[in-house]
Amino acid sequence: MSYRPTRTIVIVGGGTAGWLAANRIAAELPEVGAGSSEVVLVESPDVPTIGVGEGTWPSMRGTLQRIGLSEDEFVRACDASFKQGTCFRGWARGDASDAYYHPFSLPAEYTSLNPARYWLGEGGKTPFAELVTPQAGVIAAGRAPRQAGAPQYAFTVNYGYHLDAAGFAALLARHAVARFGVRHVSAHVGGVTRHADGDIAALRLDSGETVPGDLFVDCTGQRALLIEGQYGRRLASCRGALFNDRAIAAQVPYGNRGAGIASATRAMATSAGWIWDIGLASRRGLGHVYSSAHMDEEGARAALEAYVRQTSPEVDAGGLTYRTIPFEPGHRAEPWTRNCVAVGLSAGFVEPLEASALALVEQAAAMIGEQLPRDRQIMDVVARRFNARMRHHWERIVEFLKLHYAIGARAEPYWRDHRAPDSWPDALCEKLTLWRQQPPWHDDAPRIDELFPSASYQYVLYGMGFRPRYTDAGTPPYRRMRERADQVFHEVRENARRMARLLPTNRQLLCAIARRAA
């Protein structure tokens, strides 16, 4: 029994997570011959895609390439635009000058030069991101990450995407069936049949069909039909560190067809949360993420409506459709249990900040596909490694997101509560203590699979106004490298000017992609 071969992978649940997992896993399977497997996706016909956030990381480019999707087709089908990072406003102090960028590009020469040392040594007069990467200037100028004639997936500066989640799920579904032969079953799961050893043997559907399988991937969202419903793996709550548990979302049309499209997600702090503002090709996606312990739904909606009126005065803010999405911030300690593995919201969700949800789906699906256990005995080894990797990722995500809230100076109770050290993860406490004397660098994110490199900590730390107690500005190593750092920073400024002048706007690049379909 322990050598039972893995022939059929059954994914339960569609949406972005289910269909992305189907494509990514199927892309790694042998197509014919001994050891070939099949992927079956069972999807309830009337469960809508949640689509909170609508943002990806640059890793999505590699995922789309691996599954064989044309970037042009993806952009057109998903109303997509190009995302180069996040612009934070109001997170540190809440005044008009309170803004910083977290771009997707690493600082120039980051492998051998820690730019924060020299920025701090000079008193941090220039905004940190603006000094260390030309991408800050590209974002500020509203420019695209590449030329219109560049090869698909090539780039001048690093980028991910903003996208329509429903359109993305539909595209992935068509692609999985047509390219990889994924079998799509539209039905509700009515029950589960188990082997004597406790493994799931098959799904019983309300259509009367039985779907047997060897590995079951739970993509049923917050219902967690298999991982919790069958194996009782409950969420480990993160509410003690991250307070947000509600989001109110709305879609806002542009005032005109040629409206500019922001090059980054805009994240505006509010008195008890923050508002995301994502520019797609044909509309904006807005949402207010907040803590129900610090603000009621009426106040949260009023804040979002006020933001719509401020940024889109031509739109009837009261006439838009607003959708409330409750969530419990947390994740499962063992998302792979026996022959069942949870991916997407089934595995956990903390909040939309920094758009980690789809990145975790990519990570999970890639590991399942690339290390697919050929038999049941090997599955236990892969499961232990998978659980350890996902646990590390979740811990780092909670730590990194908490950093955004922990070091500002806003006076509202929500922000004061976030600054209480007893709400900080232990690892963050330790790092903030160390960073009082030295800036983050490679030792602070040493793993090759880290979701957030040490540069991301630098962008947030110094964008939020964090300053150490000590600098090494007077030491011999600092003085020896100062001239090189100055040269690097000069090149960054020149490159930023050149890119802002030569790169097209986001709208121009999207129009060029649309014309190629004609």
Residues serving a catalytic function are 83
Ramachandran angles phi, psi of 85, nearest 5°: 145, -155
H/E run at residue 210: strand 210-212
Q: What distance in Å separates the CA atoms of residue 176 and residue 166, rounded to the nearest whole number?
A: 15
Give rounded-to-5 percent helix, strand, coil for the chain.
Answer: 40, 20, 40
Alpha carbon 234 to chain centroid distance?
23
Q: What distance in Å separates the CA atoms of residue 396 and residue 57, rounded to the nearest whole number?
A: 16
How long a stretch of residues is the chain?
518
Between CA 121 and CA 128, with CA 127 as vertex, the angle to 5 degrees is 60
N- to C-terminal Cα distance for the chain?
56
Specify which residues 229 forms β-bridges with.
Answer: none
Using CA atoms, how far residue 161 sits from 197, 226, 349, 489, 507, in Å, is 44, 31, 20, 28, 14
How many C-beta atoms surround the C-beta of residue 13 within 10 A? 27
CB 268 within 8 A of CB 274: yes
- Which tokens in the block code for residue 40? 């079956």
